[in-house]
Amino acid sequence: MEKHRGFPGRLPGTDFQFTIRRGSKAGPTPIVRRERYADRKPADRRADVGFLKALIDHFGDEPFVRGNLDAGRLSWLFGREVVPAEDPFDPADYDAVLQVDLDQARTAFPEAFGAD
């Protein structure tokens, strides 16, 4: 499992996890598209924005390996702002390649592109 050095481990000041320390003996948790409903808590939306901003800052629009990125956090963005960058795509593989769709990300989370 590739570890993304320099990628934030969590949203600062919270327990929202962005990375995992080690792979599961049972295998990787599959990435699945989760529905984001309008009544989500503001803290959950801040975690989405923070994670997406970290992805953009770290990878830009270049393809990247899933590695130690948290599957749960990826699942909130998967299929919209984060898309598979390979075909076939295995959602339960630490070596799966993903990519940020900057146009979709800018539409859904413009605040991820603002100044710090």
CA distance 78 to 31: 7
Structure tokens at 53: 């901003």
Amino acid 115: pLDDT: 57
Give the H or E element holding residue 82: strand 82-84
d(C-alpha 98, C-alpha 91), whole Å: 10
Residue ranges covered by each domain of the chain: 62-116
Per-residue pLDDT in tens (0 to 9) along the chain, 116 residues: 888 888 999 888 888 999 888 777 777 899 999 998 888 899 899 999 999 999 999 999 999 999 999 999 999 999 999 999 999 999 999 999 999 999 999 999 999 887 54
- Whether residue 1 contacts residue 94, with contact meaning beta carbons closer than 8 Å, is answered with yes
